[in-house]
Amino acid sequence: MGLKIIVLAKQVPDTRNVGKDAMKADGTVNRAALPAIFNPEDLNALEQALRLKDRYPGSEVTILTMGPGRAADIIREGLYRGADNGYLLTDRAFAGSDTLATSYAISCAIKKISDYDIIIAGRQAIDGDTAQVGPQVAEKLGLPQVTYAEEIVSVTEGIVAEDDKYGVPHAILADEVSLNIKGSLVIKRRLERGVETVGTTFPCVLTVNASAPDCRPRNAKKVQKYKHAKTVTEIQDQSEDYMDLTADRPYLKIEEWSVNDIETDINWLGLSGSPTKVKKIENVVFQAKEAKKISSDESELEELIVELIENHTIG
Amino acid sequence: MGNVFVICEIEEGKVADVSLELLTKGRSLANDLNCKLEAVALGHNIKGIESQIYPYGVDVIHLGDDKRLEFYTTLPYTSIIVDLFKAEKPEVCLLGASTLGRDLGPRVSSALFSGLTADCTALEIGDHSDKKAGKEYKDLLYQIRPAFGGNIVATIINPDCRPQMATVREGVMKMEIHDASYKGEIKEIDVDKILKPEDLVVKVIERHMEKSKVNIKNSSIIVAGGYGMGSKEGFNQLYQLADVLSAEVGASRAAVDAGFADHERQIGQTGVTVRPKLYIACGISGQIQHTAGMEESSMIIAINNDSNAPINKIADYVINGDVNDIVPKLIKLYKKNTK
């Protein structure tokens, strides 16, 4: 069985390393001013996809990312680690999108890719921490979702005749409500207070936690193979030598889609497609209060301990 | 105008703390908006659940009791809530920022094309004027949250779409009974009419829910460690300090990400919010993500070697020095003085 897997990945500013010019006046993020990295949980998602590919030879892993031109780095990084191809969705029309407008644009791109079995994303991105895009993409595509996934326990292809506890076998669903069912998955989910195992049909959307296995490192051969992979925009700046190099290597072309390459309703994109608006941004300023300074000297520490014991804070 | 709705999470016949906290907040928002507070309670064999809900000032409970709702799964819960919201047109909808709320909220918001803000740390009612469009908005929900790694605090609004949806983590809002004898009314949801066969393609096969082993939320003393503990071994010293002080150990996100501590100990915007009597912050710099979850502690002691650490600005005592040297000294001195 060869599975077609789409991994949703995001290039994120490294929020652990933020400078003063990180925000623009309109309250959106000035991505140009920040180091950009592969969103950590999207790497956990990629690993799950690559494990499926290991298990089911002939599977294909496609990276889909939305962002500025330099987000092509994410696709190259994915190729170095074992993905087969990638799509960069990039257009000014997507600028200022909130999670819903982002999910809409991504779902339109997935519809264009059209042939897929499983969509896997990281649970959330470190720049927003919202965890909303995965479920919203699933809703837009009318697919079931399993969030907080930690492990894909099993994959069964095709419609299984099963004795369903709700009396709705998949065969009937496929037949009577023409639900698209290619097979079923068993997934282990990591919840805040425990573990849950669920079964779902696929196609479906999974979001993967950081508690899932880390992504494998780059593979040296794949780095050699894909280091010259470029989008059409990046190719414009290249020499003739590069053109010669890529002429018989179609795998070096990273697909780049603008808003015109996918079918969308423009009102649902960017700022106009975003129900949430940023009203106000405040930089964080702590109200300074006078703290009592204590050195690491034992007599000073003892004084503090005695004070805390006497006023019944401790002890 | 629509009302304020809170989605209640029910586990083993008990309404979750986070839902009761949101009902408390919901009551005060409903008072500000001069509207009703309504709750949605879905589950199986949950008759009588209203006695846990009414005291928070709930006027209407929408009750869906059905075998297929026993354990939360995305699609049936979404179908029921979307159906209900299309009829009721709520003004505001609050959910816990739990694994349930963060799975359900985005699905519902996408289906209704309404905005959703995750992990809010404050919710207020206020006005907004959109000067570009020349429009004035009255009584919007200000959804306030740290963003961008905690470097900023953003106020988010949903001017045109309803409901205005927000998730809030457990412990962020206070839980307070409004009136122990408060009585509202129950409206039964016709689950059979709403659920479609295709809502049932995801099934729970097995569940292992544990009572949380750590109870940082209710601990009166917390010893918390950050990335500045340097290593897992360094971090582990904090358990000894916590042990002598009868305290719980908490951790910053950086310490959890570095593998020094489990996620269930994480304090801050993406962890738990705590209000202990004493908070000892060891090797924690104090990004707002973290301080959002502990700044209401009655007393804060910061131990670190960075005199410019943001945590020092909210601390009552700042002990300057090497935390790995100071923690053992504190253990020794405490033992000496309590003998």
Q: Does a structural domain hold residue A101?
A: yes
Per the CB < 8 Å rule, is A193 touching B212?
yes
CB pair distance less than 8 Å for A291 and B278: no
Tens of pLDDT along chain A (315 residues) come to 799 999 999 999 887 666 656 666 665 667 677 789 999 999 999 999 999 999 999 999 999 999 999 999 999 999 999 999 999 999 999 999 999 999 999 999 999 999 999 999 999 998 888 999 999 999 999 999 999 999 999 999 887 656 554 446 677 777 777 778 899 999 999 998 889 999 999 999 999 998 899 999 999 999 999 999 999 899 887 788 888 888 889 899 999 999 999 999 999 999 999 999 999 888 765 555 678 899 989 999 999 999 898 888 887
Per-residue pLDDT of B265-309, as tens digits, reads 999 988 888 989 899 999 999 988 899 899 989 899 999 999 889
The residue count for chain B: 339
Give the pLDDT score at A27. Answer: 58
Beta strands (DSSP E) in A18-157 are: 36-38, 60-66, 85-89, 118-122, 145-157
Alpha-carbon radius of gyration of chain B: 22
**Alpha carbons A273 and A267: distance in angstroms, whole number:** 6
Q: Containing domain of residue A211, as a range?
A: 4-276
pTM above 0.90, yes or no: no
Could you give the C-alpha distances from B327 to A101, A200, B220, B323, in angstroms and in order? Answer: 49, 49, 19, 6
User: Distances in Å between the alpha carbon of A226 and those of A231, A254, B170?
Assistant: 12, 10, 46
Q: What region does B206 belong to: left with phi over 0, alpha with psi -120 to 50, or beta?
A: beta
How close is the nearest chain B Cα to the Cα of A85, in Å? 29
Say if A69 falls within a structural domain.
yes
Contacts of A136 in chain B (CB under 8 A): 106-107, 109-110
A 10 A CB-CB count for A85 gives 19
| Strand residues in chain A grouped as ranges (E) | 4-8, 11-13, 36-38, 60-66, 85-89, 118-122, 145-157, 183-191, 194-202, 204-208, 230-231, 253-257, 277-283, 292-295
Is residue A37 one of the residues assigned to a domain? yes
In a domain, A289, yes or no: no
Whole-number Å distance between alpha carbons of B318 and B61: 49
CA of B128: which chain A residue's CA is closest?
A279
Q: Specify the number of domains making up chain A.
A: 1
DSSP-derived pairing of the beta strands B203-209 and A194-202: antiparallel
Structure confidence at residue A225 (pLDDT): 96
* A307, part of any domain: no
Provide the CA B127 distance to its chain's centre, in angstroms.
Answer: 25
> To which H or E segment does residue A280 belong?
strand A277-283
Q: Is A314 a member of any domain?
A: no
Q: Judging by beta carbons within 10 Å of its beta carbon (0-12, 13-18, 19+), is residue B339 exposed, middle or buried?
A: exposed
CB within 8 Å: B313 and A286: yes
Q: Quickly tell me which residue has 């804070």 as its tokens.
A: A313
Q: Are A147 and A189 in contact (CB under 8 A)?
A: yes
Q: Please state, in angstroms and rounded to a whole number, the distance separating the CA atoms of residues B298 and B226.
A: 20
C-alpha–C-alpha distance, residues B46 and B63, integer Å? 9
Where b means 16+ CB within 10 Å and e means fewer, B178-201 reads beeebebeeeebebeebbebbbbb
* Whole-number Å distance between alpha carbons of A64 and A71: 10
| Residues of chain B neighbouring A191 (CB-CB closer than 8 A) | 99, 209
> By the 8 A CB rule, do A84 and A187 touch?
no
Question: Tokens 């803000």 belong to which residue?
Answer: B117
Q: Could you report how far apart the first and last alpha carbons of chain B are, in Å?
A: 64
Q: Which of A193, A277, A305 sits opposite B337 (nearest CB)?
A: A305
Say yes or no: A169 contacts chain B, CB-CB below 8 A.
Answer: no
| Interstrand relation of B10-11 and B14-15 (parallel, antiparallel or unpaired) | antiparallel
Flag whether B268 is marked binding.
yes
Place of tokens 């994480």: B266
The CATH number covering residue A116 comes to: 3.40.50.620
- Would you say B286 is a known binding-site residue? yes
Residue A209 contacts B, CB cutoff 8 Å: no
